[in-house]
């Protein structure tokens, strides 16, 4: 049986955004065993991806340790050790690796683990020439282009397949929650998961803004509940510290105490998820939860909007921009987001634009509220240019 | 007697010289006293060498601490004999494939240890180093394994002097053998007397074959001076201090872009304590050569704990003061000369006329010189004074050259060479000769390197550096006129003394010698890192020899010239250069993968 390996060594968001490509590879190569290589700490999520037979865990910290040792004192033994580590990971080379990152280590991993590599570079892991799809993704990011093809669909293009005809969702994991979190999703409506932090500080919504949001939400929806999710326990504590006593019993703090599977189980129990552009936001979208993203700093809906339908993204258009191009909003769409939860679409908001997710046979796309969608022909043309042969 | 014979019997694999020396020794140095738990302990001159309560437990605890630093393959060398409890404990916990040696400066102590208690089979696994300090240094230097020293303080105290001599000799031997290529980042000052020294250091390191990144902050001197124009001191100090912070940060940026093996700062280098702590966190070894009088410039107090190694031009009191302030390793490293700069010159008659005199002094007008020099003027000889900061000394105005302008190095060398008797009174803020006459200034070495005759005020550290035949000294200001008179008359003797001093500099006192010693000190403290590079363990030749477990590595190493130092990043760079148009081999991909992770580690700035 042919064996192929999907390599996704980036972060949680990228891993779940790889789902459409994995779905289509499964459809296109039904006879091929499809495995996944992902960072060890994301393996739990990797195992949730339909179509993946086996998850290989990439221990970046172990590589780092060995690199440091080799840097200190280069010895043949260091190469022997990493070779042993690779052999334990994958004793036999794969027929093909689909590399979904442009990072050098993912490309080298592809060349080490498979005989053939499909991905962002045309001529091996040290090549300079990008494949057309990789060049497209880079252009969208570097030239701040508007979105025509969603990143997750571009991953399909990188793998030589077209976008899936339907949205594939992750199956909620069968996992036990801590007893005190069991009531989440019961007795109340709506349950909103709030992602309190972000991997990068610049993408964190100020705690006082979240506090204001929670106060307004609880006031406007008497049966509403808020579940604080993420790893940042201190931020969650800070948010809760000055909340009015009326919030008591309506806030569920799960931060810093759940595994990724438990996080997924909690997200599934919520009606909607609100947060900045983070892994949990994309995980929620992949689990079929409608999400409302606040995109600022360097996050752009055109690059990393949540995949699927029924999602909203607030895109910051104005604010303080530092020398790195990081935009810090001066105001936040607090009440406007609460309106969205009640299915009332705000007409306008100062300094923010609102985008709604859609999908068709060419994949997912976003349309700004009050604007026309990009003509389907334009998107078809891109697919024809970048992937001339039918797939 | 029974223990002694049993233990000597156990030593049967050791050298016959050791056994013979033990048998011939009278012993009786240590006073053996039972400890509370019953095993013998020992006292020397009223102080306990091992615990009075439980020597074995204390030794185990000591060994557990030491073994953390001990890397596989290193030869552990114990300083301190006592009753060998600590050696026994270390022998039991030592890394696999590592050997243990013990320095035995006095066989009598060793005999006492053998006679005090029954020692196990471990006794025979230890290499016992005996002889004079010079002989012991030779034995250690001849070892192929890197040396890792462990000092058991209470016992080592008995032989502090022998250990000191051993270390000095060993350092010299290690320095003379060092052949590997280090990458050293030399951080210089913005301005001042240590700036030329930083340049000599760079030059010496280059001469020794090391790669040097010269972080020359003198380029920023004009800006620094401009910030000094504020009327209020607090404004000036704040702005200049912030400016020094920026330079400190720029040093970090340089280091991040081209990571060195060692960061070597020269006195007045603008490196803040915060930056030094950051460098330590990122595992960059740092050293400071403090070529200043520690009594005059006291900023070392704030930085003492920041540098991993301090090198100073003064001994005992200075070293103790730095240690009290938090410095971990402090070593004496006197000044030197650079023979490519400081050398004899053939002067034209016009130059001789311009720069020459019977007696000269080149230097700044420190307080003590302002009172001393007028005493040494005389109608019996011509006198020229060169240098700046002599304003207001009317007695000297007629001999002051160039209106007291600052003198560059080239002019300085001409004056040294053109003068019959160069005066060299060390600076001091007092009124007479330096009341703390310990360090020897750079001028002493520079004059000597020029083959120029000098009269220098007596220094406590001068005797170890020059004999009185090589450099003539005076103890009182009053002696100087007589000495000038004598030496002006005795031209052949004057020339002989000057030539002898030059020979001595070339033999012992160049910056090349100093840097060899400095690196040897750091190398001995870091045998697995700097020491390993200095021994040439990172060269293609050695790496190829060791590549038996992965012979595929040999062709990659063969791309580099024999003997060249090769690091992971060099291998990766070479692979990247040769990559276009060909399939990469598996071992090349492995190297590239490791290099990806290596390149991510130094997020310094």
Cross-chain residue pair B528–A108, CB shorter than 8 Å:
no
CB–CB contact B546 A70 (8 Å): no
CA of A127: which chain B residue's CA is closest?
B580
Q: How far is CA B330 from CA B300, B317, B479, in A?
A: 12, 11, 36
Pairing state of beta strands A327-328 and A33-39?
A: unpaired
What does the pLDDT look like over B537-579, one tens digit per residue?
A: 888 888 888 888 888 889 999 999 888 889 899 999 999 999 8
Q: Which of A7, A58, A71, A81 to mutate to test the interface with B (most CBs of B within 10 A)?
A: A71
pLDDT at B539: 86
Percent over 70 (pLDDT), chain B: 99
Nearest CA in chain B to A111: B589
Q: With an 8 Å Cβ cutoff, are B592 and A67 in contact?
A: no
- What is the pLDDT, as a whole number, of residue B601? 57
| Structure tokens given for B109 | 């102590």
Q: Which of A63, A71, A124 sits opposite B593 (nearest CB)?
A: A63
What number of C-beta contacts closer than 8 Å exist between A and B? 97
| Domain residue limits, chain A | 3-158, 179-360
CB of B192 within 8 A of CB of B217? no
Question: Which pLDDT score, from 0 to 100, does residue B482 have?
Answer: 97
What's the confidence (pLDDT) of residue B2? 85
Cβ–Cβ below 8 Å for B594 and A111: no
Contact across the interface for B598 and A70, Cβ inside 8 Å: yes
Q: Rounded to whole angstroms, what are the CA distances from B405 to A94, B365, B391?
A: 77, 12, 11
User: Would the CB atoms of A67 and B601 count as touching at under 8 Å?
Assistant: yes
Whether ipTM exceeds 0.85: yes
Q: Are B598 and A79 inside 8 Å of each other by CB?
A: no
Q: How far is A73 from chain B (nearest CA, A)?
A: 7
Q: CA of B282: which chain A residue's CA is closest?
A: A68
Contact of A105 with chain B, judged by CB distance below 8 Å, is answered with yes
**Subunit contact A126:B579, Cβ cutoff 8 A:** yes
Q: How far is B568 from chain A (nearest CA, A)?
A: 6
Contact status of A122 with chain B (Cβ, < 8 Å): no
Q: Does B579 touch chain A (CB under 8 A)?
A: yes
B1-34 confidence digits (pLDDT tens): 689 988 988 887 777 888 899 999 998 888 899 9
Is A276:A203 a contact under the CB 8 Å cutoff?
A: yes
**Shortest Cα–Cα distance, A202 to chain B (Å):** 18
Domain boundaries of chain B, sorted by first residue: 2-161, 183-329, 349-509, 538-599
What secondary structure does DSSP assign to B490-558, as a single string? -HHHHHHHHHHHHHHHHHH-BHHHHHHHHHHHHHHH-TTTHHHHHTTTTBHHHHHHTGGG-TTHHHHHT
Instruction: Say yes or no for a CB contact (<8 Å) between A71 and B569.
Output: yes
CATH superfamily of A3-158: Glycogen Phosphorylase B; (3.40.50.2000)
| Residue B167: its H or E element | helix B160-177
Instruction: Give residue-wise pLDDT tens across range B501-538.
Output: 999 999 999 999 999 999 999 999 988 888 888 888 88
From B553, B587, B598, residue closest to A71, measured CB to CB: B598
Cα–Cα distance for residue pair A235/B398, rounded to 1 Å = 76
Q: Is there a contact between B549 and A77 if contact means CB atoms under 8 Å apart?
A: yes
CB atoms closer than 10 angstroms to residue B582: 9
Across the interface, whether the CB atoms of A73 and B528 are under 8 A apart is answered yes
Residues of B in contact with A126 (CB under 8 A): 575-576, 579-580, 584, 592
* Confidence at residue A209, expressed as pLDDT on a 0 to 100 scale: 97
Residue in chain B nearest A66 by alpha carbon: B594
Is A108 in CB contact (< 8 Å) with chain B?
Answer: yes
Q: Would an 8 Å CB–CB cutoff place B528 in contact with chain A?
A: yes
Region at B107 (left for phi over 0; alpha for psi -120 to 50; beta for the rest)? alpha
- Is the minimum CB–CB distance between B603 and chain A shorter than 8 Å? no
Q: Sort out which chain B residues have CB atoms less than 8 A from A124's CB and list them.
A: 579, 583-584
Chain B residue numbers touching A59 (CB-CB < 8 A): none
Q: What percent of chain B has pLDDT over 90?
A: 71
pLDDT band at B58; cut points 50, 70, 90 = very high
Nearest CB partner across the interface for A112, out of B532, B550, B586: B586
User: What are the tens digits of pLDDT across the range B316-345?
Assistant: 999 999 999 999 999 999 999 999 999 999
Facing A74 at nearest CB: one of B566, B584, B596:
B566
Q: pLDDT band for position B186 (50/70/90)?
A: very high
C-alpha distance from A112 to closest chain B C-alpha (Å):
7
Find the range with the poorest average confidence among A61-70, A199-208, B125-134, B225-234.
B225-234
The CATH number of B183-329, from 3.60.150.10, 3.40.50.2000, 3.40.50.300, 3.30.43.10, is: 3.40.50.2000
Measured between alpha carbons, how far is residue A223 from residues A334, A335, B231 in Å?
A: 19, 17, 68
CA angle (A293 as vertex; A289, A299 as ends), nearest 5: 135
Instruction: Quote the pLDDT of residue B415.
Output: 98
Are B215 and B256 spatial neighbours (Cβ–Cβ below 8 Å)?
no
Looking at residue B473, its pLDDT comes to 96
Q: What confidence tens digit (pLDDT) does each residue in B80-95 have?
A: 999 999 999 999 999 8
Architecture of domain B349-509: 3-Layer(aba) Sandwich (3.40)
User: B581: exposed, middle or buried (C-beta count within 10 Å: 0-12, 13-18, 19+)?
Assistant: exposed
B590–A77: do the CB atoms touch at under 8 Å? no
Q: A181-192: buried (b, 16+ CB within 10 Å) or exposed (e) per residue?
A: beebbeebeebb
CB atoms within 10 A of CB B458: 16
| Mean pLDDT, chain B, whole residue set | 92
Beta strands in A111-233 (DSSP E): 114-118, 191-195, 225-229
State mean pLDDT over B52-71: 93
Residues of A in contact with B600 (CB under 8 A): 64
> Does residue B106 surpass a pLDDT of 80?
yes
Contacts A102 to B, Cβ<8 Å:
none
Q: How far is A121 from chain B (nearest CA, A)?
A: 13
Nearest by CB to A74, from B538, B548, B597: name it: B538
Within 10 angstroms of residue B590's Cβ, the number of other Cβ atoms is 26
- Confidence (pLDDT) at B230: 86
Q: What is the mean pLDDT of each run of 10 residues along chain A (391 residues)?
A: 96 96 95 97 96 96 92 88 95 96 93 94 88 88 76 93 92 92 90 94 95 95 95 93 87 95 97 97 97 95 92 95 90 95 83 93 90 78 79 46
Task: Identify the three-state secondary structure at position B42.
Answer: strand
Q: Is residue B189 pLDDT above 90, yes or no?
A: yes
pLDDT of residue B174: 78
B546: nearest CB among A75, A82, A83: A75
Q: Do B579 and A124 touch (CB under 8 A)?
A: yes
User: Which residues 187-246 of A are in CB contact (within 8 Å) with B?
Assistant: none
> From edge to edge, which strands make up the β-sheet containing B286-290?
B211-215, B183-187, B262-266, B286-290, B309-312, B329-332
| The dihedral sign for the CA sequence B229, B230, B234, B240 | negative
Chain A CB contacts of B566 below 8 Å: 74
Whether residue A66 lies within 8 A of chain B, CB to CB, comes out as yes
Give A79's contacts in chain B (Cβ within 8 Å): 550, 553, 587, 590-591, 594
According to the model, what pLDDT value does residue A391 have?
46
Identity of the residue in B568, B591, B593 whose CB atom sits nearest the CB atom of A105: B593
Class of A179-360 in CATH: alpha beta
Q: Rounded CA gap, B202 and B189, in Å?
A: 13
Q: At what angle do helices A104-113 and B586-599 cross, to 10 degrees?
A: 160
For residue A112, list chain B residues with Cβ-Cβ distance below 8 A: 586, 589-590, 593
Query: Which of A80, A82, A111 lies at the smallest CB-CB distance from B594?
Result: A82
Q: Are the Cβ atoms of A78 and B528 closer than 8 angstroms?
A: no
């Amino acid at each position: 049986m042919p064996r192929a390996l999907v390599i996704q060594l980036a972060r949680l968001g990228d891993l779940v955004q790889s789902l459409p490509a994995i779905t289509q590879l499964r459809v296109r190569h039904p006879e091929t065993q499809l495995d996944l290589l992902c960072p060890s700490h994301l393996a739990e999520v990797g195992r949730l991806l339909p179509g993946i037979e086996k998850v290989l865990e990439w221990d970046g910290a172990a590589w780092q340790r060995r690199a440091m040792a080799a840097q200190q004192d280069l010895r043949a033994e260091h190469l022997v050790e990493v070779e042993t580590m690779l052999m334990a990971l994958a004793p036999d080379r794969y027929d093909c690796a689909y590399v979904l990152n442009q990072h050098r280590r993912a490309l080298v991993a592809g060349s080490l683990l498979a005989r053939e590599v499909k991905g962002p570079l045309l001529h091996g892991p040290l090549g300079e020439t990008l494949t057309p799809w990789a060049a497209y993704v880079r252009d969208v990011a570097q030239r701040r282009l508007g979105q025509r093809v969603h990143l997750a669909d571009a991953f399909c293009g990188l793998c030589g397949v077209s976008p899936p005809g339907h949205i594939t969702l992750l199956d909620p994991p069968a996992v036990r929650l801590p007893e005190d979190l069991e009531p989440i999703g019961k007795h109340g409506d709506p349950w909103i998961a709030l992602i309190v932090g972000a991997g990068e500080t610049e993408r964190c919504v100020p705690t006082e803004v979240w506090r204001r949001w929670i106060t307004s939400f609880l006031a406007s929806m008497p049966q509403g509940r808020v579940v604080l999710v993420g790893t940042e326990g201190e931020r969650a504590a800070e948010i809760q510290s000055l909340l009015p006593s009326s919030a008591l019993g309506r806030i569920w703090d799960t931060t810093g105490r759940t595994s990724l599977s438990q996080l997924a189980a909690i997200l599934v129990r919520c009606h909607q998820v609100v947060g900045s552009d983070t892994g949990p936001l994309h995980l929620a979208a992949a689990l079929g939860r409608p999400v409302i993203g606040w995109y600022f700093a360097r996050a752009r809906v055109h690059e990393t909007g949540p995949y699927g339908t029924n999602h909203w993204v607030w895109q910051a258009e104005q604010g303080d921009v530092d020398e790195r191009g990081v935009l810090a909003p001066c105001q936040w769409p607090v009440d406007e987001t609460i309106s969205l939860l009640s299915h009332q679409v705000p007409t306008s908001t100062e300094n923010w634009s609102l985008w709604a997710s859609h999908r068709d046979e060419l994949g997912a796309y976003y349309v700004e509220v009050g604007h026309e969608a990009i003509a389907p022909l334009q998107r078809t043309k891109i697919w024809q240019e970048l992937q001339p042969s039918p797939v | 007697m029974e223990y002694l014979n049993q233990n000597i019997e156990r030593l049967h694999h050791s050298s016959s010289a050791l056994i013979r020396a033990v048998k011939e020794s009278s012993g009786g140095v240590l006073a053996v006293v039972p400890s509370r738990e019953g095993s013998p302990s020992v006292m020397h001159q009223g102080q306990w060498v091992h615990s009075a309560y439980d020597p074995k437990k204390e030794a185990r605890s000591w060994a557990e601490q030491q073994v953390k630093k001990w890397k596989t393959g290193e030869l552990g060398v114990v300083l301190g004999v006592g009753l060998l409890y600590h050696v026994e404990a270390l022998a039991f916990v030592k890394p696999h494939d590592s050997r243990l040696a013990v320095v035995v400066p006095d066989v009598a102590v060793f005999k006492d240890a053998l006679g005090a208690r029954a020692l196990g089979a471990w006794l025979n696994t230890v290499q016992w180093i005996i002889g004079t300090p010079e002989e012991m240094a030779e034995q250690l230097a001849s070892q192929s394994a890197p040396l890792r020293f462990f000092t058991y303080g209470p016992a080592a105290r008995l032989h502090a002097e022998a250990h000191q001599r051993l270390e000095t000799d060993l350092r010299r031997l290690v320095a003379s053998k060092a052949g590997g290529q280090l990458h050293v980042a030399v951080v210089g000052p913005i301005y001042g007397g240590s700036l030329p020294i930083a340049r000599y250091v760079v030059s010496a390191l280059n001469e020794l074959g090391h790669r040097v990144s010269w972080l020359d902050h003198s380029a920023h001197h004009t800006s620094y001076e401009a910030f000094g124009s504020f009327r209020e001191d607090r404004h000036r100090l704040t702005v200049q201090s912030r400016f020094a912070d920026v330079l400190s940060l720029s040093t970090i940026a340089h280091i991040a872009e081209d990571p060195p093996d060692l960061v070597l700062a020269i006195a007045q280098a603008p490196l803040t304590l915060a930056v030094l702590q950051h460098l330590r966190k990122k595992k960059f070894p740092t050293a400071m050569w403090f070529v200043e009088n520690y009594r005059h410039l006291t900023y070392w107090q704030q930085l003492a704990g920041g540098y991993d190694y301090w090198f100073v031009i003064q001994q005992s009191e200075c070293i103790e003061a730095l240690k009290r302030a938090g410095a971990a390793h402090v070593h004496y490293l006197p000044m030197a000369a650079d023979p490519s700069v400081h050398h004899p010159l053939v002067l034209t008659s016009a130059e001789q006329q311009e720069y020459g005199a019977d007696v000269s002094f080149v230097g700044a007008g420190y307080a003590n010189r302002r009172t001393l020099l007028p005493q040494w003027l005389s109608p019996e000889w011509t006198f020229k004074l060169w240098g700046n900061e002599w304003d207001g000394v009317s007695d000297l105005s007629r001999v002051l050259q160039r209106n007291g302008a600052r003198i560059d190095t080239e002019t300085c060398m001409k004056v040294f060479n053109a003068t019959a008797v160069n005066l060299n009174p060390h600076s001091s803020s007092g009124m007479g000769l330096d009341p703390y006459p310990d360090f020897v200034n750079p001028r002493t070495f520079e004059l000597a390197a020029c083959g120029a005759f000098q009269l220098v005020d007596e220094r406590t550290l001068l005797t170890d550096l020059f004999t009185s035949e090589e450099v003539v000294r005076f103890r009182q200001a009053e002696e100087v006129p007589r000495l000038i008179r004598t030496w002006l008359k005795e031209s052949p003797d004057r020339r002989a003394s000057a030539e002898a001093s030059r020979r001595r500099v070339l033999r012992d006192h160049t910056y090349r010698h100093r840097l060899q010693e400095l690196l040897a000190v750091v190398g001995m403290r870091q045998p697995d890192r700097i020491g390993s590079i200095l021994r040439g363990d990172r060269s293609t030749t050695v790496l190829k020899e060791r590549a038996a477990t992965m012979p595929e590595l040999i062709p990659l190493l063969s791309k580099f010239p024999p003997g060249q130092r090769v690091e992971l990043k060099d291998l990766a760079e070479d692979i990247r250069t040769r990559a276009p148009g060909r399939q990469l081999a598996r071992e090349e991909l492995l190297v590239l993968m490791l290099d990806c992770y290596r390149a991510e580690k130094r997020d310094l700035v």
